[in-house]
Amino acid sequence: MTRLSLNGKPIEIEASGDKPLLWVLREELALLGTKYGCGQALCGACTVLIDGQSVRSCLVPVSAVEGREVTTIELEPGIDPVLDAVRDVWAEESVPQCGYCQSGQIMAICGEIKSNGPFSDSTDVSQRVSNICRCGTYQRIRKCALMAQERCQEK
Amino acid sequence: MSHLDLDDEVNPEPLAKMGRRDWLKASVAAGVITLLEVRFQNPLRADVSLQQVPVDLWITLNQDNDVEILFAKAEMGQGIWTTLPMILIDEIGLDPNKVRVRQAPSTPTYTNPAMGLSMTAGSTSVRTQFPILRDAGAKSRLRILRAAARSLNKNLAELDIQNGLIIDSTTNSTHTLSAFLREIDQEPLPMEAPVKSPSSWTRLGKAFPELDAREKSNGLAVFGADIRIKDMVYASIIQNPSYGSILLNADELQSEAKQSHFVQIKNGFAIVGESFWFADQEARRLAPLARYELHPQAADFDNEKLATLHREALDSLLQNPQDPNLEARRRGDPEQVYAQSENKIEAQYSVPFLAHLCMETPTATARTVASPSQPNSLESIEVWAPTQSALFVQRTLAEQFGVPSERVTVHMTRLGGGFGRKAMTDYVVQAVAIAKSIGKPVQLIWSREEDIRHDHYRPSFAARMRAGFSQDGTQIAILGDSSGPSIARSTGRPPQGIDPASIEAFLDDPYDFEHKVIRHHEIFTPVPLGFWRSVGASQNTFFTECFLDEIGFAVGQDPVAFRMSLLPDGRLKNVLRKLDEITEWSLRQGKPLFQNRAWGLALYQGFGSFVGQVVEVSVLQNRVRVHKVWCVVDCGLALNPAGIEAQVQGSIAYGLTAALGHETLFREGRCTQSNFGDMYALSPRDMPEVHLTLIESADDPGGMGEPATPPIAPAVANALFRLTGRRLRTLPLRLPAD
């Protein structure tokens, strides 16, 4: 039994402790926004936040998040201004193409801003957020990560 | 939001307001009518009626004035779920914020093999459907206005539709469309209607957001692996390693599997379970225990064998100069002119097999019903899958499982990347086979390893290019020989002669070569092949644009000037002129500001569009860095400029993966790589800044899903020559360590 806080609510997971968080989210909790991309923490499609830090959930056994705060792309609006800003800018600027990698991109960006401070420029975004996108949205990602950040800073 | 509360099915994106079972039976009584049905194809034969052609798109209007567009074409990130509806929205006069675009819940029956198969591929969606949708939109608009005019007892000229409302110009009043639901339903669709001129467009031609950007940004967009069906189980698959290989010890694996559910299928085995992860863990545990008998052709095939096959093919072309079966195109007398030329150059190029690496691995969910009367037969099949052609899937399943196609239902989910990979049906057939075997609905997900090792690869090609020219650079004869396997043959359609896909864009027009010959020798490999973004152009533009650069250098001409001399007046030449203008190439003699950087150039025309690129590169610690790309595009009428920009950036990124690091390697007939750790995909820090210039044009819209891919690799190779003095003629581009 693993007890944790998920998107602000306490929950208990009965799944085997070594089941990766990614699959617990997708199979036990019907939270389907976090995606499988490689299963080896190489691509970032499975990125969530654990205690505010971005983590690739495909290799994190659920037992490791005992007592922790897990945040996914499905977090309700109005709770995290950084996440809200990124999601809003993403929709307004049409950052996603196929969209499959974008939950991971968005969570990785939020985690970076929270844990390691704001991005200094677009090169900094590319250096710190290495999630793979095969549609090639990198240019819009770095432009819009800065836009979202600015929007947060203005508030 | 709970995903578990619709019928016995789950789809986190709410389906059209009509229930799944009634969506095709719209009526006033049901509170919703069909405004329009659009068929993108005509029947291929005169004896087939239009009514038998599957409908690709519906627009419905309900009593609450909600408009929904239901789409049976594949959305894989190229934005057609926005661009195509926007053509209708603008033509009719709807408000895009109030229009919902939905995946059609199921694909209607494919009944007639004379139909052709609607496939989302070849950068065709916008350019073929633009006139159809414009016309359909105009007719819809006229239908609505006639109905309203009748009901209000007004002249047509007094009414207009703007922003989803009917405006009465005499009284300045507005009405919802749904106020006339009954009248619209009774009003026949006009035979003809005038289309709006581009100057009347309110949204087309301007930047507008993708209609589904929001759900792709909040985790609610539904992909294939997000489908949940009642009683569904999951499967992970381990496919037999190579062409023709046979699994020898299935029984042994079955008993080793003990607790888990082992299913053998035609080309591999699957483990089925309540959790994909558990099934996959078990599959991985068993995989090293599997023993195979390899097909001799596969056992023999590796990277060295590939090189040998290319070498022998190219040599055979040289040794058989008269063989007409090896010749594709000819103009003038190239052999004679070449033989008599004062100067000659020759260069050999090669490119590897390429995987697609969609972020979403192949997946399919299948539910089968066993035949009550015939053992080991199916009564019906239902699948949910990301696919570039639902009709092709439907036909394939009907054939493979002996089920009439009206009992094969295909629900197309949005694709997490296609690029040509998801035009193949292998993963869907597997899901059905597993479901049939276990008698339960199953969701098959390929691991990334399976995806990498069982792709349908862009074939490996090699080329020997020769040119002869006089001292002053005129009188050029160009001879292009190439070798490679045939995609058509690999996909079950052996070509008559040379596979056109093998030689498309190879020294093609519009370059004005007075004397040229293209020859091609097919090679045979056990590697499964398929369509990769831009197909034949992905390798042939590399060969063409690099070799042109070499000729230009040999005759002492600047790359821009040389191409200007070879191009007739036309759209590609205008693209080149524009490229020169924005980069100031000629003024700067093709040199960037920074001394440790260089520029390279390449052009491409195809898919109805015209593209030119200049790249700025440097080399740091033996790694190629692409800093900037200036891209000039003439794609005719730019309906969705923001979408075009996204496709240009994406196409360049896709091509750069092949230019900078990606290759697929083989041993014993199988791919030896496994995941992103040993297979290169462009990383964010390798992405340059792309500066796009769209040439304003009133020409018909060209496709933009692919044309910006072919020129990027040659542009980078050409830049590296100007930087280092070395010609790199193989992809991926690797600088020799020294």
For residue B605, give both structure tokens. 């025309």
| Terminal-to-terminal C-alpha distance of chain B | 59
- Whether the CB-CB separation of B476 and B514 falls below 8 Å is answered with yes
- How many CB pairs below 8 A link A and B? 182
pLDDT at residue B427, as a whole number:
98
What mean pLDDT comes out for the span A11-24? Answer: 94
Given a cut of 90, is residue B104 above it in pLDDT? no
Token couple for B222: 């539904």
- pLDDT band at residue A5 using 50, 70 and 90 as cut-offs: very high
Could you tell me which residues come within 8 angstroms of residue B337 by beta carbon, excluding any fewer than 6 positions away? Answer: B468, B475, B477, B515
Q: Which has more confidence, B57 or B326?
A: B326
Q: What pLDDT does B459 receive? A: 98
Each residue's pLDDT tens digit, A28-76: 999 999 999 999 999 999 999 999 999 999 999 999 999 999 999 999 9
Percent of chain A predicted with pLDDT > 90? 95
Task: Identify the pLDDT of residue B9.
Answer: 41
How far is Cα B206 from Cα B420, in angstroms, rounded to an integer? 29
Find out whether B550 and B722 touch, Cβ atoms under 8 Å.
no
Best of A97, A130, A137 to mutate (most B CBs within 10 Å, chain B): A97
For A98-144, the DSSP string reads S-TTHHHHHHHHHHHHHHH----SHHHHHHH-----SS--HHHHHHH
Interface touch B219/A93, C-beta < 8 Å: no
Whether the pLDDT of residue B717 is over 50: the answer is yes
The predicted pLDDT at position B74 comes to: 77
Asked if B218 and A43 come within 8 Å (Cβ–Cβ), the reply is no
| Least confident range of A57-71, B282-296, B502-516, B597-611 | B502-516
| B26 Cβ neighbours under 8 A, 6+ residues apart | B18, B32, B33, B34, B60
In terms of pLDDT, which residue wins out, B38 or B574? B574
Q: Report pLDDT for B97.
A: 83
Q: Is the pLDDT of residue B399 over 90?
A: yes
What is the rounded average pLDDT of the residues A5-29? 95
The minimal CB distance from A23 to the residues B276, B684, B690 is found for B276
Token pair listed for B282: 């078990």
Residue A73 at interface with chain B, using a CB cutoff of 8 Å: yes
**Range with lowest mean pLDDT among A62-71, B113-122, B320-329, B503-512:** B113-122
Q: Which residue has the higher pLDDT, B424 or B8?
A: B424
What per-residue confidence (pLDDT) applies to B18?
36
pLDDT tens-digit series, residues A119-145? 999 999 999 999 999 999 999 999 999
Residue B444 has pLDDT above 80, yes or no: yes
pLDDT on residue B391: 83
Calpha distance B218→A96 (Å, rounded):
11
Contact B675 A40 (CB under 8 A): yes
Tell me what pLDDT residue B13 has: 42
Q: How far is A155 from chain B (nearest CA, A)?
A: 21
Round the average pLDDT of chain B to a whole number and report it.
90
**Does the distance separating the beta carbons of B277 and A32 come in below 8 Å?**
no
As given in the structure block, the two tokens for residue A4 are 């944790």
Higher pLDDT, B518 or B62: B518
Look-up of token digits 């040389």: B562
Cβ count within 10 A of residue B526: 23
Q: State residue B42's pLDDT score.
A: 64
Find chain B residues with C-beta within 8 A of A45's C-beta.
Answer: 359
What percent of chain B is modeled with pLDDT above 70? 92
Question: Which residues of chain B make contact with A26, given a CB cutoff of 8 A?
Answer: 225
Q: pLDDT by residue (tens digit) across B321-372?
A: 999 999 999 999 999 999 999 999 999 999 999 999 999 999 999 999 999 9
Confidence of residue B307 (pLDDT cuts 50, 70, 90): very high
Q: State residue B100's pLDDT score.
A: 84
Q: Is B518 on the interface with A (CB under 8 A)?
A: no
CB contact residues (below 8 A), chain B span 366-425, against chain A: 414-419
Tell me which residue of B355, B381, B353, B354 sits closest to B367, measured CA to CA.
B381
Maximum C-alpha span of chain A: 44
Q: Does B76 touch chain A (CB under 8 A)?
A: yes
Position B386 pLDDT exceeds 70: yes
What separation in angstroms does the CA of A85 have from each of A94, A112, A121, A154, B340?
14, 14, 17, 11, 68
What's the confidence (pLDDT) of residue B50? 66
Q: Tell me which of A83, A94, A122, A128 to substitute to probe the interface with B (most B C-beta atoms closer than 10 Å).
A: A94
pLDDT value, residue B25 = 57
Mean pLDDT of chain A: 96
Confidence grade of residue B58 (pLDDT, cut at 50, 70, 90): confident
Residue-wise pLDDT for B639-688, tens only, equals 999 999 999 999 999 999 999 999 999 999 999 999 999 999 999 999 99
Tell me the range of A14-18, B177-181, B678-682 where mean pLDDT is highest: B678-682
Interface of A with B in 83-102 (CB under 8 A): 87, 90-102
Does residue B186 sit at the A interface (CB-CB below 8 Å)? no
| Chain A residues inside the 8 Å CB shell of B223 | 35, 100
How far is CA B478 from each of CA B37, B322, B468, B601, rounded to the nearest angstrom? 51, 16, 7, 20
Is A27–B687 a contact, with Cβ atoms under 8 angstroms apart?
A: no
Whether the pLDDT of residue A1 is over 50: the answer is yes
**How would residue B43 be classed by pLDDT, with cut points 50, 70 and 90?**
low
Nearest to B213 among A34, A38, A91 (CB): A91
A140 interfaces chain B, CB cutoff of 8 Å? yes
Bridge partners for B364 per DSSP? B444
Question: What is the pLDDT, as a whole number, of residue B59?
Answer: 86
Under an 8 A CB cutoff, do A139 and B214 touch?
A: no
Q: What number is the average pLDDT over the span B479-507?
A: 96
**B357 with A134: Cβ contact below 8 A:** yes
Q: Which of the residue ranges A28-32, B113-117, B598-602, B712-716 would you say has the lowest mean pLDDT?
A: B113-117
Quick check: A12 pLDDT over 70?
Answer: yes
Does the beta-carbon distance from A35 to B359 stay under 8 Å?
Answer: yes
Residue B49, pLDDT score? 67
Contacts of B443 in chain A (CB under 8 A): none
Does A56 lie at the interface with B, CB-CB under 8 angstroms? no
Of B218, B277, B417, the CB nearest to A135: B417
Q: Which residue among A23, A30, A43 sits closest to B3, beta carbon to beta carbon?
A: A30
Nearest CB to A32: which of B3, B280, B643? B3
Query: Which range, B59-63, B209-213, B384-388, B526-530, is most confident?
Result: B526-530
Chain A contact present for B222, CB below 8 A: yes
Q: Lowest mean pLDDT: which of A26-40, B316-330, B402-416, B600-614?
A: B402-416
Alpha-carbon gap, residue B439 to B433, rounded angstroms: 10
Residue of A nearest to B234 (CA): A27
Surface of B (607-646) touching A: CB under 8 A? 642-643, 646
Place of tokens 């027009």: B509
B217 touches chain A (CB under 8 A): yes
Over residues A75-86, the pLDDT tens digits come to 999 999 999 999
Task: Please tell me whether residue B58 adopts helix, strand or coil conformation.
Answer: strand
How does residue B1 score in pLDDT terms, banded at 50, 70 and 90? very low
**Nearest residue on chain A to B674, alpha-carbon basis:** A38
Cα A109 to chain centroid distance, Å, stands at 7
Cβ-defined contact of A134 to B676 (cutoff 8 Å) = no
Name which of B77, B276, B689 is nearest A98 (Cβ-Cβ).
B77
pLDDT, residue B330, reads 95
Please name the member of A87, A93, A135 whose beta carbon is closest to the beta carbon of B77.
A135
pLDDT at residue B3 tops 70:
no
- Calculate how close chain A gets to B191, using CA atoms only, in Å: 37
pLDDT > 90: percent of chain B: 77
Three-state SS sequence of B647-689 = HHHHHHHHHHHHHHCCCECEECCEECCCCCCCCCCCCHHHCCE
Contacts with A139 from chain B: Cβ below 8 Å: 649, 687, 689-690
- The per-residue pLDDT for range B575-604, each reduced to its tens digit, is 999 999 999 999 999 999 999 999 999 999
The pLDDT value recorded for residue B527 is 98
Q: Residue B19: pLDDT above 80? A: no
The predicted structure's pLDDT at residue B6: 30
